[in-house]
């Protein structure tokens, strides 16, 4: 199969895969539809087997890296890291919702950057709910901060987001150079988010709270913190000697896993479950379906819309295009589509795409899988997200954060060089 028929089939399957990932009918995992869809595009010839194999080989190291980071984050949670963070926030807030919001921003930004956005959504958000309840504060500003920062604060390191890992591979940058170029955009975007959320939820924050009954601060799990610190150092060292940083992630996860197994705090089955194998299969299958669509027309169509060069107007155009596409087809397919088109223009163009696909999803529920997962967690806590409110906040925060971050990226490229 080739030509218009292959393009139509690939487009229909992509819509089906994304729709089922959003709705998750009968509680099925995302892979339940994505894997058969990938099999269909291969079986019909919409994508040749050798191209599918090449796509799998390209995504393989990225998926392995993601699995290791997910295990590392889960084991940190079992060591008590996130519970300790919640106690620290409650103690340090002193009954002030404004101080609590600042602490949520600081913790969510660091956790997202170091342990990935999944850790912020799955592990920190429930802790923030519990901390707000303990203080008698309205949870909405702090819980919204978790979802916005799971996207916006994932700009700093290659390990912060799956999209970053893909961008790192496409850009040709080292781990440290990637972080150096993204540090200023990361800080700028987070700063804008803080100002917007503080003003948007001014009434909720002004409602007040109460000081916790005990001022005792919990002890942080030192072994987990040291392991995470050594893992980060391993990322840098691996990048400097040309070794895939995934090995450092595996090493960090292995250290905590062996400790947990010896202390009977976990089981091999639980470790496999924390790696989210169905989600990893979904990522691989989605990449194959998107590759089929790109090869049969989408790539050519978008190629005319991608601006050339790395001047400020071009970077703004790329970021805006990436943000729009992320909200139309989800940020993971968007980055898979746009990276091959942006990469010939240099690392700056790749990073501009990354700004769009990481910040843009704060506009709609479907922008990223992290936002969809956050919505399910909010509902599990017997709370509800108002679509209008979510969209209004995104309509203010996304354009402002994106423009400021792109300008910051342009300054970084000018000073440091791409």
**pLDDT the model gives residue 93:** 80
Express as a percent the part of the chain with pLDDT over 90: 44
Low-confidence ranges of the chain (pLDDT < 50): none
pTM of the entire structure? 0.83
Assigned token pair, 199: 């003003």
* 288, 52 contact by CB (below 8 A): yes
**pLDDT the model gives residue 244:** 78
**pLDDT the model gives residue 34:** 92
**pLDDT the model gives residue 159:** 84
SS (H, E, C) the chain: CCHHHHHHHHHHHHHHHHHHHHHCHHHCCCHHHHHHHHHHHHHCCCCCHHHHHHHHHHHHHHHHHHHHHHHHHHHHHHCCHHHHHHHHHHHHHCCCHHHHHHHHHHHHHHHHHHHCHHHHHHHHHHHHHHHHHHHCCCCHHHHHHHHHHHHHHHHCCHHHCHHHHHHHHHHCCCHHHHHHHHHHHHHHHHHHHHHHHHHHCHHHHHCCCCCCCCCCCCCCCHHHHHHHHHHHHHHHHHHHCCCCCHHHHHHHHHHHHHHHHHCCCCCHHHHHHHCCHHHHHHHHHHHHHHHHHHHHHHHHHHHCCCCCCCCHHHHHHHHHHHHHHHHHHCHHHHHHHHHHHHHHHCHHHHHHHHHHHHHHHHHCHHHCHHHHHHHHHHHHCCCCCCHHHHHHHHHHHHHHHHHHHHHHHHHHHHHHCC
**Sign of the dihedral through C-alpha 372, 378, 384, 385:** negative
Q: How far apart are CA 171 and CA 174, in angstroms?
A: 9
Per-residue b/e over 383-392, b at no fewer than 16 CB within 10 Å?
Answer: eebeeeebee
* Maximal CA-CA distance, the chain: 68
Q: What are the Cα distances from residue 121, in Å, to 89, 128, 150, 289, 403?
A: 17, 10, 7, 26, 25
**pLDDT the model gives residue 347:** 93
* 189, 183 contact by CB (below 8 A): no
* 80, 221 contact by CB (below 8 A): yes
**pLDDT the model gives residue 105:** 96
């Amino acid at each position: 199969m080739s030509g218009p028929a292959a393009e139509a089939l690939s487009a229909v399957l992509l819509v089906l895969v994304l729709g089922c990932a959003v709705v998750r009918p009968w509680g099925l995992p995302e892979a339940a539809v994505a894997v058969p869809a990938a099999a269909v595009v291969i079986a019909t010839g919409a994508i040749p087997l050798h191209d599918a194999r090449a796509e799998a080989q390209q995504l393989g190291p990225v998926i392995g890296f993601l699995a290791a980071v997910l295990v590392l984050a889960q084991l940190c949670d079992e060591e008590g890291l996130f519970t300790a963070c919640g106690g620290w926030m409650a103690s340090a807030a002193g009954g002030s919702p404004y101080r609590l919001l600042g602490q949520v921003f600081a913790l969510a930004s660091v956790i997202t950057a170091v342990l990935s956005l999944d850790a912020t959504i799955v592990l920190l958000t429930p802790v923030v709910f519990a901390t707000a309840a303990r203080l008698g504060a309205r949870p909405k500003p702090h819980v919204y901060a978790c979802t916005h920062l799971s996207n916006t604060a994932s700009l700093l390191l290659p390990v912060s987001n799956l999209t970053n890992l893909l961008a790192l591979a496409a850009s040709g940058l080292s781990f440290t150079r990637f972080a150096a170029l993204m540090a200023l955009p990361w800080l700028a975007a987070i700063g804008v988010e803080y100002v917007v959320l503080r003003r948007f939820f001014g009434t909720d924050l002004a409602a007040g709270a109460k000081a916790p009954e005990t001022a005792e601060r919990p002890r942080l799990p030192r072994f987990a913190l040291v392991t995470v610190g050594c893992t980060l150092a391993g990322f840098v060292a691996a990048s400097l000697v040309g070794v895939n940083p995934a090995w450092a992630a595996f090493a960090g996860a292995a250290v905590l896993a062996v400790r947990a197994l010896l202390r009977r705090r976990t089981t091999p089955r639980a470790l496999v479950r924390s790696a989210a194998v169905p989600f990893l299969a979904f990522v691989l299958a989605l990449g194959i379906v998107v590759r089929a669509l790109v090869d049969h027309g989408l790539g050519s169509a978008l190629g005319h819309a991608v601006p050339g060069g790395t001047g400020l107007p071009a970077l703004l155009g790329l970021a805006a295009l990436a943000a729009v596409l992320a909200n139309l087809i989800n940020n993971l397919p968007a980055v898979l589509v746009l990276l091959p088109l942006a990469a010939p223009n240099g690392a700056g163009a790749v990073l501009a795409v990354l700004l769009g696909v990481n910040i843009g999803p704060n506009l709609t529920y479907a922008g990223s899988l992290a936002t969809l997962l956050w919505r399910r967690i909010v509902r599990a806590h017997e709370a509800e997200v108002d679509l209008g409110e979510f969209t209004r906040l995104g309509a203010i925060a996304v354009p402002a954060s994106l423009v400021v971050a792109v300008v910051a990226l342009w300054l970084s490229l000018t000073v440091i060089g791409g």
